Amino acid sequence: MPEYDLSFSSSSSTDGGSYKLMELPPELTKLIEDALANGNHYPPTFTVKGDPLEDAVLCTTDKTYSMRSVNLSNSILMVTPPVNTSSNSGENDMVVIRDQVNEIIELAPTVPKLHKLSSLLRGREYDDTGEDVNSASSSKRFTYEDARAEIQASDVELDCGLKDRRILNVNGELRPITPSYLNSLLELLLNLLVSLSLPHDAAPVEDISSVLADEHEVSRAVSTQVMSWFGEIYEGKWSMDVQAAMKEVGLGILRNHKHEPIEKQELLAKWKSFVGDTFESSISLDLLLGNFLVSTSQMGEEEMLTYFAASSLPVEPAARFGDLFLTRTRWKGEDIEQFLADIAVNNKERDKLLLKYCRATTDATGVWYTARAQYNG
């Protein structure tokens, strides 16, 4: 075993605390190993994000990881060769102690922190008023690059978040489209497919955009983005994701019943009427899971649906469960799970949350959850 002479750095007082050790999970280790094997032609990119009031996260191109400090039972010395060591200096067997590390940073997959988008973009909604966004105050503009800098999410997750939240990029500015205007655009798109006899899996984007621009004053940039939210655009053709479009239409109807429930059959009838005969067979209440509560009418005969969206609930688990148990003191297993999907990276993490915040009981109808803590209305 080689032997080395140890010495303390002359700048140890300033070096102290300047070194951090990070333990990489297997998938990140593999990214680095693959990059080294490829001669660093495709080096991975890791970015630490978070303002002073946030817990930092580490982002790759497509995933977000929480960063947690874990104390070590044994200290680790950070050592380097002496500065300006030459082959003839006789110092090749010396190392200099630069710092002492007593903790490591542990990484764990986490959901992207996309909830800030709602507050950052509040008041910047886009509708059919025809507002010229270039006339908007520059102090209120929030761009895609602003979002990359401020939102704790990877680029892939951010792009998915903008799509899922129906946020347009209009002349470089991010603007959430109003639900009512989005529903109007979807109605126009569905009607155009029928009136122009266009196949929904290969509709010419230019034909649709031209009609929307000329006859309905819809910006081509807006119509193209909306089509991309509900399908794929390839070589000038739009292949509509029927289920995604049907879901948005159903949500548009359901949103009007946040305070006054709607009968299940009435919702389905309005939904079918909206989408027409062509897509009637594609609608299903399963598309709306995680967006409604079920109750029974006063006569106890009809199922009633009330709009209740997981996306409107707090993102912190304790607050999320608090709201859920203030809404209902007892939840069926499969019902409460629909309102946890966006705060857990996978089913294992979801089950950990249920174990932490809920008590489970089982009867003939299945598993039921009640709160571990007492929540007062």
Nearest Cα residue to 343 out of 116, 115, 184: 115
Q: What is the pLDDT of residue 6?
A: 72
According to DSSP H, which parts of the chain are helical? 12-15, 26-37, 116-120, 144-150, 155-164, 179-195, 205-216, 220-229, 242-254, 264-279, 317-327, 333-337, 347-357
Would strands 21-23 and 94-109 be described as parallel, antiparallel, or unpaired?
parallel
Distance of CA 329 to the CA centre of its chain: 28
- Taken in order 25, 28, 345, 283, is the CA torsion positive or negative? negative
- Contact at 8 Å (CB) between 190 and 231? no
Confidence class of residue 137 from pLDDT cuts 50, 70 and 90?
A: very low
* Residues constituting the chain: 377
Task: Give the C-alpha separation, 334 to 341, whole Å.
Answer: 12
Cβ contacts of 178 within 8 Å, gap of 6 or more: 125, 126, 127
Strand partners, 150: none
Q: What residues form DSSP beta bridges with 143?
A: 173
Confidence at 270, pLDDT banded by 50, 70, 90: very high
Whole-structure pTM value: 0.86
pLDDT band of 37, cuts 50, 70, 90: confident
Q: Distance between CA 158 and CA 144 in Å, rounded? A: 9
- What would the mean pLDDT of 241-264 be, rounded to a whole number? 95
Residue 344 has pLDDT above 90, yes or no: yes
3-state SS of 154-176?
CHHHHHHHHHHCCEEEECCEEEE
C-alpha 13/C-alpha 10 separation (Å) is 8
Is the separation of the CB atoms in 104 and 21 below 8 Å?
Answer: yes
Cβ-in-10-Å burial (0-12, 13-18, 19+) of 65 comes to: buried
Over the chain, what is the mean pLDDT?
Answer: 89
CB distance 21 to 108 below 8 Å: no
DSSP string, 251-278: HHHHGGGSSS-EEHHHHHHHHHHHHHHH
- Among 84-93, 137-146, 254-263, the least confident range: 84-93
Among the residue ranges 42-56, 88-102, 200-214, 294-308, the one predicted with the least confidence is 88-102
The answer on pLDDT for 63 being more than 80 is: yes
Residue 133 has pLDDT above 60, yes or no: no
Q: What is the pLDDT of residue 315?
A: 92
Flag whether pLDDT at 84 surpasses 70. no
* pLDDT value at residue 88: 55
Say what the pLDDT of residue 8 is: 74
pLDDT reported for residue 136? 45
Q: How far apart are CA 195 and CA 21, in angstroms?
A: 63
What does the pLDDT average to over 316-344? Answer: 95
Give the phi and the psi of residue 374 in degrees, each rounded to 5.
-95, 120
